[in-house]
Amino acid sequence: MSSLTADQKQALDTQAVKNFREYLQIPSVHPDVNYEPCVKFLEKQASSLGLPVKVISVVPGKPIVILTWIGKEPTLPSILLNSHMDVVPVFEEKWTYKPFSAHIDDKGNIYARGAQDMKCVGIQYLEAIRRLQFQSVTLRRTIHVSFVPDEETGGVDGMKAFIKTNDFKNLNIGFALDEGMASPNNEYPVFYAERVIWQMHIHCPGHPGHGSLLLENTAGEKASYILNKLYEFRKEQQKKLKDNPNLTIGDVTTVNLTEVKGGVQANVIPPEFILTVDSRLAITVDFKKWEETLNTWCRDAGQGVYIEYEQKQSLIEPTKVDNSNSYWVAFKQATDELGLTLKPQVFTGGTDSRYIRAIGIPAFGFSPINNTSILAHENDEFLNTATFLKGILYYEKIIEKIGNLTGYVKKNEKRLKM
């Protein structure tokens, strides 16, 4: 790959920052997202790159935008570079600068909702391709760059719906990259799996009556028992994490009370309390035993206590991070050549990668952001300009390496050359 002159690099950097800020200035924010400005912006980017673009609407009003860079050997399984267009709500009064202004301060920090999560990555994909094209690089494999809706609300009308379509199957995906997370130190996290989401409503029915009485079998007593058990378990997981510096939060199970429903007024003992609990299970958990533990707590709490599951996911096979996975070998080769320190780990929350892995496609979550405070979903979310531009160079190398893998590396097919 030929090197760029200083003037060429400066021109490309200026264009990349301009495109990043323009994308950030589109308020594709929940709860009522209008995706059309994003679609128009991305169609304009496709035109500037000379790439075909397809807009797919699996769910009305929830477009999926696919830009395609066709490889020299298009029959090989392709590479998917995925990102999401939507961002979480903002509390504008808590921000130093308007959250969709993409203001740049005197340190080069770009402030906007989506600066880290994850409009940066979507633009970095495109700008890396722009630089590869500028240097007349062509890849063996076809690269698809996808921009999906509704990831921040679970991806139900986005990636989850998309993977069931012929449009997705026809992309012939062999491997995918998706979002990761910023790192406050010099390491770069690479996420090869995600914890399993169990979200539950624990119903605690009981004897209602006057608030001045000492009735037995009340809803509050049962709720108290359940909460004590949950928070005892939570303290155990906190201790496990604290006692082992090699663990990350993705290696333990979290339980958090997120809602309490029940009661009508101060002097009435209600007939039921409902506790909503968000639980993220470590991939090492014995799910059957965990469910038995929960059921035991409910039984011991008192008569009639039961669980209604909002989400109860099964374990999704992690993507391998060893020499048996040639995509990992290529990814690691690229990052080694760049001098990056990687930390493979389990993601704390949920991303669109889980849907991709669930259908047998290996996927990594990676955002090239280090030495940066984790500000996804926070007030004053920002990304430094230099960090953003450096990430484009990283994706240049990564996309070239994985895009030039030859041979078939899907499922049981093991023919491969680097």
CA–CA separation, 168 vs 361, rounded Å? 12
Residue type, 31: P
Inter-axis angle of helices 6-24 and 119-134, to 10 degrees? 150
151 has catalytic annotation: yes
**Other C-beta atoms within 10 Å of 175: how many?**
26
Residue type, 188: Y
86 has catalytic annotation: yes
Inter-axis angle of helices 6-24 and 385-403, to 10 degrees? 100
CA–CA separation, 111 vs 19, rounded Å? 14
Closest to 367 (Cα-Cα) out of 329, 337, 394, 341: 394
CA-CA distances (angstroms) from residue 161 to 68, 149, 154, 268, 290?
20, 11, 11, 45, 29
Catalytic entry in 151, 179, 194, 352: 151
DSSP codes joined into one string, 86-134: -B----GGG-SS-TTS-EE-TT-EEE-TTTTTTHHHHHHHHHHHHHHHH
Active site amino acids: 86, 151
